[in-house]
């Protein structure tokens, strides 16, 4: 696909709009006009002066079809430059959505919104304009469907209640364990097979415990208060019980966890869970665990490279309940290869029947580094899942995934769950969303604090990203750890010195 820009600098947004319709397409950028004719898919975007107005236009040749759309607009009086710039971006995006919708027959449910956090925008609109006007802006200029606008509104209200729990000196702690038993076909995270990385684990755990202590010392000096702790990955329970205990002991020794609101561990894959590890977590004060089926279909589990069965999920869930865990999350993924709306509905009903406190419904996102991606089909541990390639853009897959999410949106409220957490990913099937559903009073606080950037998240471990949030103006600064475990170990001193940026940020 060729994407051409004429008279404007909204390249990023234009590319994102194209990816809504063609998520796996390789995009080649061009300046000016006319469009080159050496590609069957060509899109030209233009903003040009027209007297006292501006002229916004998009034209596209898509597989033999030509479509165009244009509008004139004048800058309203007393509009500041930033607001006008945003308005121009939306006007151009509207033209693109109109043109590409007519050319493909696809109507994006999130309209011109391409960002990760639609509920964050809804929260701002609710504060500025009230509910009626916030919904009008979503369904009007932003072209969001009524159903998705209502979902964003419900989530935004739930998030406001969680946000009120955070103070100016609050922070959350993220601990990265980037190891898994095998790599799932859909996964794009930096995670290493335990078998392959076994020799790295002793040094990794030792340095992780040291980094935990160093960060804790900084937070005490700055008077910061931990609200939540989240151990993720990877699959943290890929570690043996002794290594898991070393990490949780380091956390309890470095931080005062008696007053935190929530302590989550991604137990994730049932094939990593046993009684000894759950006992370590329980004794460490963990209050919430994730046991993630993704699907209850054994053929689909095998196809995506999960080395466990649906029966294993039931066994490990029952074991966690037996050991006293009363706040459990379970993930499902809509759009997995080999799954159907009927199969997804069966998995959803089975999950609801177990009664976990949280159910998170993800839409499959075909990331470049996943085993399902046509751009990289060499990932180890991906079962027999063939690359999806351009199948992500097919009408059938969009309809199938949309039907799965519609089923979840109907069944979960009927079972007493409410949406509390929402985010979107690029290259997701049908341009759809991920939603966390919760029983009353069981919202995962970390998910909201992190996703909505309500307060700082201090992160330790390989691939971890510290996100510093200024409580006064919302300004954000990021501090990156090295991505891979061998880098984390080999360059630990260099990396650990970066944590001084936390002092500098709060020192302002």
Express each pLDDT in 376-408 by its tens digit.
333 333 334 444 544 444 667 788 999 999 999
Q: What tens digit of pLDDT does each residue of 316-349 get?
A: 999 999 999 999 999 999 999 999 999 999 999 9
Where among 130, 145, 164 does a domain terminate?
164
Distance CA 9, CA 230 (A): 39
**Residue 43 to residue 65: CA distance in whole angstroms:** 11
13 and 43 assigned to the same domain: yes
**Same domain, yes or no, for 308 and 346?**
yes
- Do 345 and 412 fall into the same domain? yes
**Which H helix or E strand runs over 5?**
strand 2-6
Where among 441, 461, 487 does a domain terminate? 441
What 3-state DSSP class applies to 26?
Answer: coil
Mutual angle of helices 201-222 and 500-507, in 10-degree steps: 20
**CA 373 to CA 393: how far, in whole Å?**
13
Q: What is the pLDDT of residues 174-200, one digit of tens each?
A: 999 999 876 665 565 555 667 678 899
Task: Domain of residue 122: give its range.
Answer: 112-164
Q: How many Cβ atoms from other residues are within 10 Å of residue 410's Cβ?
A: 9
Distance CA 4, CA 10 (A): 11
Residues 437 and 320 reside in one and the same domain: yes
Report the number of distinct structural domains present in the chain: 3
**pLDDT higher than 50, residue 128:** yes
Mean pLDDT is lowest, of 18-32, 140-154, 177-191, 428-442, for 177-191
In a domain, 250, yes or no: no
Query: In the structure, what pLDDT confidence band is assigned to residue 430 with cuts at 50, 70 and 90?
Result: confident
Q: For the chain, what is the mean pLDDT?
A: 91
Residues 6 or more apart from 453 whose CB is under 8 A from it?
117, 120, 467, 469, 474, 476
Determine the pLDDT at residue 411. 98
In the block, tokens 């991920």 appear at 434
Cα–Cα distance for residue pair 23/392, rounded to 1 Å: 7
In this predicted structure, what is the pLDDT of residue 380? 31
Give the predicted TM-score (pTM) of the model.
Answer: 0.91
Tens of pLDDT, residues 292-319: 999 999 999 999 888 889 999 999 999 9
pLDDT confidence tier of residue 34, bands split at 50, 70 and 90: low
Say yes or no: 56 and 132 in one domain: no
Determine, yes or no, domain membership for 78.
yes
Q: How many CB atoms lie within 10 A of CB 36?
A: 11
Q: Tell whether 292 and 412 lie within a shared domain.
A: yes
Judge if 57 and 99 occupy the same domain. Answer: yes
Q: What is the pLDDT of residues 211-254, one digit of tens each?
A: 999 999 999 999 999 999 999 988 999 999 999 999 999 999 99
Task: Please say if the pLDDT value at position 35 is more than 90.
Answer: no
In a domain, 98, yes or no: yes
Cβ proximity of 117 and 474 under 8 Å:
no
Retrieve residue 230's tokens. 């989240």
370 in the same domain as 402: yes
């Amino acid at each position: 696909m060729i994407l051409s820009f004429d008279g404007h600098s909204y390249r990023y947004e234009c590319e994102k709009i194209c990816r809504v319709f063609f998520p796996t397409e390789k995009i080649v950028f061009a300046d000016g006009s006319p469009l080159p004719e050496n590609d069957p898919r060509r899109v030209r975007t233009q903003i040009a002066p027209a007297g006292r107005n501006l002229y916004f236009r998009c034209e596209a040749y898509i597989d033999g079809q030509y479509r165009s759309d244009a509008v004139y607009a004048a800058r309203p009086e007393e509009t500041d430059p930033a607001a006008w710039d945003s308005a121009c971006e939306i006007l151009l995006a509207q033209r693109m959505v109109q043109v590409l919708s007519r050319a493909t027959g696809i109507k994006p449910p999130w309209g011109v919104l391409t960002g990760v956090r639609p509920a964050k925008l809804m929260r701002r609109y609710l504060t500025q304009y009230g509910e009626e006007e916030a919904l009008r802006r979503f369904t009007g200029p932003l072209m969001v469907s009524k159903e998705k606008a209502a979902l964003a509104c419900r989530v935004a209200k739930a998030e406001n209640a969680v946000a009120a729990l955070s103070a100016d000196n609050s922070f959350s702690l993220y601990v990265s364990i980037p190891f898994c038993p095998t790599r799932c076909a859909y996964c794009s995270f930096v995670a290493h097979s335990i078998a392959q990385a076994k020799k790295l684990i002793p040094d990794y755990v030792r340095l992780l415990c040291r980094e935990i202590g160093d960060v804790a010392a900084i937070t005490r000096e700055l008077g910061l208060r931990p609200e939540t702790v989240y151990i993720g990955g990877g699959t943290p329970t890929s570690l043996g019980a002794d290594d898991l205990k070393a990490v949780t002991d380091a956390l309890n020794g470095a931080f005062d966890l008696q007053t935190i609101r929530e302590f989550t561990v991604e137990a994730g894959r049932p094939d990593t869970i046993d009684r000894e590890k759950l006992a370590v977590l329980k004794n460490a004060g963990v209050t919430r665990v994730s046991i993630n089926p993704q699907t209850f279909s054994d053929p689909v589990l095998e196809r995506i490279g999960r080395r466990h069965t649906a029966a294993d999920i039931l066994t490990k869930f029952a074991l966690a309940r037996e050991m006293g865990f009363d706040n459990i999350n379970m993930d499902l993924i809509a759009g997995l290869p080999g799954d159907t709306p009927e199969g997804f509905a069966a998995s959803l009903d089975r999950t609801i029947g177990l009664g976990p406190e949280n159910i998170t419904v993800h839409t499959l996102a075909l990331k470049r580094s996943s085993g399902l991606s046509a751009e990289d089909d060499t990932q180890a541990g991906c079962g027999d899942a063939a690359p999806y390639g351009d199948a992500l853009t097919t009408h059938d897959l969009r309809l199938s995934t949309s039907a799965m999410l519609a089923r979840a949106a109907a069944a979960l409220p009927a079972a007493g769950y409410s949406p509390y957490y929402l985010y979107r990913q690029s290259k997701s099937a049908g341009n759809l969303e991920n939603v966390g559903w919760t029983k009353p009073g069981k919202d995962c606080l970390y998910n909201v604090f992190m996703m909505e950037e309500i307060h700082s998240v201090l992160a330790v471990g390989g691939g971890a990203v510290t996100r510093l949030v200024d409580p006064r103006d919302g300004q954000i600064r990021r501090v990156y750890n090295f991505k891979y475990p061998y880098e984390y170990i080999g360059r630990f001193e260099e990396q650990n010195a970066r944590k001084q940026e936390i002092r500098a940020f709060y020192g302002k």
